[in-house]
Chain A
Amino acid sequence: MTLSPDLRARAEALGQSLPPLLAAAEHLAATVTLGEHGRRRPGRGDDFWQYRPARVGDSLRLIDWRRSARSDQAFVQEREWQAAQSVVLWVDPAQSMDFAGATRPPKSDRARLLALALAVLLLRAGEQVGLAGHPLRARAGKGQMERLVAAMAADLANPPQDYALALPQDFVLQGRAVFISDFLGDLAGLERSLAQAAASGVKGLLLQVLDPEEEDFPFDGRTVFVSMGGSLAHETQSAGDLRAGYLARLAERKARLADLARATGWVYAGHHTGQPATGALLWAYRALEGGW
């Protein structure tokens, strides 16, 4: 199984169809330099933020004499704090992500598409992007795109598991992380990972990608359900009767994920492949943009 060749092109296209990550700030300051992420608070940076009366402790060098000359007080010019973030992406490589309902692409396709599109946007905005589970340092710049795609392709070469067990444990301090998976496997690994992330001060997004068939369970009749890897199987006389139970469990799983996210300061959202990818990308985008 190889990465579909048009995956990157589609990711680029999707990225271009959206306004850049800083679109919201554009009307605020046309002077924002690409790559710098305005924090909307005073700090280190090049852009003017505000004048404030000078306080004890401000060095003389900071005083804006031109402004101060117009009054009896001394003013200090503050700049907007601009800092680049480091974002780690993790896309579930397990076989369960290969499930696809009728006429729809597999979930993994959508998950990678979203990850790359996010990467494109983040890189364009000057953030540092890395891929978890790879010896790939989070870097900024267009060249990183190539490396991300190569790393993702390398992922495919690994022997696949039925459900993802190993989740990233190492995080850049105070960084950001985006986990894209169906989260249908055991949640113990996720819990550990999130605990580690919380300890490192890392916040992030949990994006659950599901197929509409997984959401609706439109099956009926006598059926043997087999997991994608074949490791799990369940037989039923009447699949329709299981619908209520399955949906209840799915809802429970979603609630659990949301709880986990809330507890660790992450954000959780669901997405399914029947919807356009734009919505999920926009959401991820806003969520990353929102000030933590």
Chain B
Amino acid sequence: MGFTSPLLLVGFLALPLLWILLRAVPPAAIRRRFAGVALLLGLADKTQQADKTPWWLLVLRMMALAAAIVAFAGPVVNPTVGNRASAPLMIVMDGGWADAFDWSRRHAKAASLLEAAETSGRAVALVQLSDPQPPLGFQAASEVRGKLAGFAPRSWQPQALASWRDALPQGPFDTAWISDGLAHSGQAELITALEQHGQVEVFASDHPIYALGPAVQADGKVTLTVQRLAAGLPASVTLIARGPDPAGVERELVRQRVDFAAQDTSAKAQLDLPAELRNRITRFALEGQRSAGAVTLAGDTLKRRKVALVSDTADGEGLQLLSPLHYLRQALAPSSDLLTAGLGDVLPTKPDVIILADAAQVPPAQTAVLRAWVEKGGLLLRFAGPRLAASDMAALAGDPLMPVALRQGGLTSGGAMSWGAPKALAQFGANSLFHGLTVPSDIQVRTQVLAQPDPDLPTRTLAALDDGTPLVTRKALGLGQVVLFHVTASAEWSDLPLSGLFVQMLERLAVSGTSGSAGVDVVAGLIWTPEHVLDGWGDLADPATLAGVPGEALVDTLAQGPSAKVPAGLYRHDGLGLALNAVPVDQPLVGATWPLNIAVQGLTLPSQIVLKGPVLALAMLLLLFDAVATLALTQRLGFVRRVGVGMLLALALLAPSQKAQADAAADQRAIAATQGVVLAYVMTGEPAVDATSAAGLQGLSDQLIYRTTIEPLAPMGVDVEKDEVVFFPFLYWPLTADAPTPSAAGYDKLNHYLRMGGMILFDTRDADVAGVATGSAPTPEGQALQRIAQGLDIPPLAPLPVDHVLTRSFFLLQTFPGRFTEGGLWVEAPPPDAAKTDGMPFRNLNDGVTPVVIGGNDWASAWAVDDNGWPLLPVGRGAAGDQQREYAYRFGINLIMHVLTGNYKSDQVHVPALLERLGK
């Protein structure tokens, strides 16, 4: 028991004074000269004031005052009084991904430690070990509080903690370490250093930590390793693979349970997936584990490219080893889907890569098709050969499907007919795509085709011989590129196809997918720009100003895990994508070990009970008694007695029949809701929001009655948990930050409602700052929307297409303002194959009513009217505001029309067909 402001208790000294004051000695009379006194003579006083207050009333009043004094002094049971020590306190948070799952509890714990320190006046230093090391100094707790809000879990682990040791402030201080439960490098040294300064307390969560390793592809199966920190009990987690569906909407693709046996700390999940599905996977995540460690980005790892091998050589009796495609097949087969056919057959299958081995001239019929394919992003890989060398180079000079112009004939060196020795490969230049690959010295190039000297040649050259002759050249064409190896794909002209370098070059060219471990050879030597980074919670974020990372640094982090400089995320170089995950492959989870003298405590907060409210209520109750007693003393209690008895009677009558009344009320409600069209809103529990919703729907109902044949009854509020919703064609759901998530039964009811053709308009009421449309950081309302909508059976959504039926179901509209105008509107996505018919102004979109409409323009506020039908809330300014309100009403009318008439207006698409049929 304690008081937050005990000094106020001095107020008790005033009680005796009050005793004297409250004894109600009548005040001395004022002498007043007044001419009208003649009129006053004979008027009697209505009340005779008592000379003294009865003692019991006095006691009652004193008790009320005493209760008030105690209440304002802030009585607290079990108060948060930290360690009585006055030494400064250092609060250390790990801040790695393992913190993410129960970050709010850690945050609350740190806040409570701060509060305790503030109460006892201790200076505080607050550090997050995963962040770059700040200057460590102690400040007042109130100063540090703001810093805590800036902390967030990172996608990397704290590293090199030993270096923090040297930066510790001088002098004694205590430490509270809120640990994520994992061991970090240098942790032991840091603890030892901290213990030399003072007492160290450790707080850790009991939440199990799961980590998901990178996906490895082997034998057509995708294997993922799930690790957990503590063995002991059997457990199971659910692995979810996500990726875009054919319509481009990200959704869950695969779900698989991963079981841990009692003693296992790691388990493997094997996914055997069709190639189409596997190629689409962008990330794996463990369900219910919200942290970067439980997320694995797929990157390009899982993509198996479809490579088409085209050779003009008639497949026949030739020796396999002499086939120009043999080495390519060998190199590509493990990581790609191969297709061997003529060019005409290959193109319709939409391959990622087409390899032309020694084909001089593409048949003119297919040139245009092939070129179009390349310009759309295809990679055309060509190899030289005897036929190319022998072809008419002049005719090839302007060929866009050839990266450089070639000289007639070729160059043969080191043969019986030439002076020179076979050429070796030069090291790759820094600008080359192949930079960083080691060139084996034993590769010899005996014959090659030669490029015409050209100003563009150096920039197009990817690899050259040691005398500078280009060996591999490349030219961009549209979105795609054309690459020419100036040698054959077989070992005929050079040793290159025999070497490992050949495979690596193909990987670099993104001809073949990188193998599961993302080999060092692919990564090193290139600059990788971060495309997306993972935050601590496992969500993708914008990398902002993060600089590109040299491949060598990336190789280290791939093995050891990301760091602040190289955070986890998706990195890209040219066409190559690389996923850097929070948990590196083959790195086991190691639990933190603490010295034996340090007890590890849980994250529970001290259960402090603040008594201010109840005591203040007691004071109020006493004052109420005082009022009644005063009334009784002045014989004015009759009225109060009558009212009181009436209320007691009413309570007594109400109590037993409550249940029966509830049923009857539900029936009444159902009857009221089915008397006509009733617009309904979901009650959020915030009175202001609910009142606005009711007033808004009332305003919309009024407008519908004025302008359309829809004549809704008074709108009703709906509690999705308790009330039946199927009666309502339309639910308006304003979202508040702390809107409760519906229960399973509630979700069942809502999903049933949506399936039966109901519509819900979700309104985040934040002008779409929620970023539903933009994908920026969500507001609290936006998060509530995500949370609530997760359990709903909602089809893929898309921003409202301009030809959606909502834009013309009653009024012709292209804007949908409420109180705000900026926010976009999301509705069920149109089918991907929706196409515009000739002569029709719009496409034939969804057949049916979109089950949800999502936006943030706060429509109810714009619609809201008061009891007299006047607008309740201001919208915009002046005439523009009136117009905005008018458009808000029009949107509402369109929406209700859409709800009630479905795609009726879209059926106009069929009018020409019907007319034609009638004509016949």
For the complex, what is the distance from the CA of A219 to the CA of B35, rounded to whole Å? 13
User: Is there contact, CB below 8 Å, between B37 and A221?
Assistant: no
Interface size of A in residues (CB-CB distance below 8 Å): 35
Interface size of B in residues (CB-CB distance below 8 Å): 22
Q: Which of A185, A222, A224 contacts B38 (CB 8 A)?
A: A185
User: Is there contact, CB below 8 Å, between B41 and A232?
Assistant: yes
Q: Which of B26, B37, B46 contacts A225 (CB 8 A)?
A: B37
List, in ascending order, chain B residues with CB within 8 A of A221's CB: 27, 30
User: Is there contact, CB below 8 Å, between B35 and A214?
Assistant: yes
User: Is there contact, CB below 8 Å, between B37 and A222?
Assistant: no
User: Is there contact, CB below 8 Å, between A224 and B29?
Assistant: yes
List, in ascending order, chain B residues with CB within 8 A of A228's CB: 33, 35
For the complex, what is the distance from the CA of A163 to the CA of B35, rounded to whole Å? 9
CB distance from B1 to the nearest CB of A (A): 45
List, in ascending order, chain B residues with CB within 8 A of A285's CB: none
Interface stretch, picked from A34-42, A124-132, A246-254, is: A246-254
User: Is there contact, CB below 8 Å, between B27 and A222?
Assistant: yes
User: Is there contact, CB below 8 Å, between B46 and A238?
Assistant: yes
A234-B41, A237-B26 as given contacts; A184 in contact with B31, CB under 8 Å:
no
User: Is there contact, CB below 8 Å, between A253 and B39?
Assistant: yes
List, in ascending order, chain B residues with CB within 8 A of A249's CB: 39-40, 43
CB distance from B35 to the nearest CB of A (A): 4
> Is A278 in contact with chain B by the CB < 8 A criterion?
no
List, in ascending order, chain B residues with CB within 8 A of A242's CB: 40, 43, 45
One digit per residue, 1 when the CB lies within 8 angstroms of any chain B CB and 0 when it does not, for chain A 176-196 equals 000000101100000000000
User: Chain B: which residue is nearest A242 at the CB level?
Assistant: B43
User: Is there contact, CB below 8 Å, between B28 and A225?
Assistant: no
User: Is there contact, CB below 8 Å, between A226 and B34?
Assistant: yes
For the complex, what is the distance from the CA of A211 to the CA of B35, rounded to whole Å? 9
CB distance from A247 to the nearest CB of B (A): 9
User: Is there contact, CB below 8 Å, between A241 and B47?
Assistant: yes
User: Chain A: which residue is nearest B41 at the CB level?
Assistant: A234
User: Is there contact, CB below 8 Å, between A234 and B37?
Assistant: yes
> Is A233 in contact with chain B by the CB < 8 A criterion?
yes
List, in ascending order, chain B residues with CB within 8 A of A72's CB: none
CB distance from A208 to the nearest CB of B (A): 12
> Is A81 in contact with chain B by the CB < 8 A criterion?
no
For the complex, what is the distance from the CA of A184 to the CA of B37, rounded to whole Å? 9
User: Chain B: which residue is nearest A253 at the CB level?
Assistant: B39
- Give the interface SS of chain A, mostly helix, strand, loop or mixed: mixed
Q: Which of B28, B33, B39, B41 contacts A222 (CB 8 A)?
A: B28
> Is A223 in contact with chain B by the CB < 8 A criterion?
yes
User: Is there contact, CB below 8 Å, between B49 and A225?
Assistant: no
User: Is there contact, CB below 8 Å, between B37 and A241?
Assistant: no
Interface residues of B in 548-600 (CB under 8 A from A): none
For the complex, what is the distance from the CA of A241 to the CA of B46, rounded to whole Å? 6
User: Chain A: which residue is nearest B43 at the CB level?
Assistant: A245
Residue among B27, B34, B43 with the most chain A CB within 10 A?
B34
User: Is there contact, CB below 8 Å, between A223 and B32?
Assistant: yes
CB distance from B820 to the nearest CB of A (A): 53
> Is A96 in contact with chain B by the CB < 8 A criterion?
yes
> Is B348 in contact with chain A by the CB < 8 A criterion?
no
A184-B38, A234-B41, A250-B39 as given contacts; A224 in contact with B48, CB under 8 Å:
no
Can you pick out 27 interface pairs between chain A and chain B where the beta carbons lie within 8 Å of each other?
A96-B35, A97-B35, A107-B35, A163-B38, A184-B36, A214-B36, A217-B36, A219-B32, A222-B26, A222-B27, A222-B28, A223-B29, A225-B32, A227-B34, A227-B35, A228-B33, A232-B41, A235-B29, A236-B40, A237-B48, A237-B49, A241-B45, A241-B47, A242-B43, A242-B45, A250-B36, A253-B39
8 tightest CB-CB pairs across the interface, nearest first? Answer: A99-B35, A245-B43, A96-B35, A222-B29, A241-B46, A249-B39, A225-B34, A225-B37
Mark A residues whose CB is within 8 Å of B: 96-97, 99, 107, 163, 182, 184-185, 211, 213-214, 217, 219, 221-228, 232-238, 241-242, 245-246, 249-250, 253
Apart from A226-B37, A235-B29, 18 more pairs, CB < 8 Å = A99-B34, A99-B35, A107-B35, A182-B35, A184-B35, A185-B38, A214-B35, A222-B26, A223-B30, A226-B32, A234-B37, A237-B48, A238-B46, A241-B46, A245-B43, A249-B39, A249-B43, A250-B39
